[in-house]
Amino acid sequence: DVSDQAMTVYETRLRDSFVLKDLHHYRHMGKFFEDNTHLLKVYPKLFSQAVKMYLTADGTPKKERQKEIIKMAFEKRSKGGLIKDIYGAWRALL
């Protein structure tokens, strides 16, 4: 049914649900990822390597592993780049 009344009910239900709220909240994320394509290349691989390193049980203390992971992150992306990426993501979510 695509009558005016049905569409009004549908629109009301959308407005009252999380759908339109989420669409509004994340409206800038598409542009953010379009402008920062490196995010989808660098960070998934970095995250995967970090989790693998952290969860590998080889007798290395976790504190040392954390330092290695941070060092690896800075090798893949500069401090300034990391800060810029985090700030950009934060701004896109506002």
Measured CA to CA, the distance from residue 94 to residue 61 in angstroms comes to 38
Alpha-carbon distances of 50 from 11, 68, 92, rounded to whole Å: 44, 9, 25
Q: What's the pLDDT at 1?
A: 75
Q: What's the pLDDT at 39?
A: 93
Q: What's the pLDDT at 78?
A: 93
Span between the terminal Cα atoms of the chain, in Å: 37
Domains of the chain, residue spans: 23-93
Positions of the chain with pLDDT lower than 50, given as ranges: none
Q: What's the pLDDT at 68?
A: 96
Measured CA to CA, the distance from residue 54 to residue 27 in angstroms comes to 34
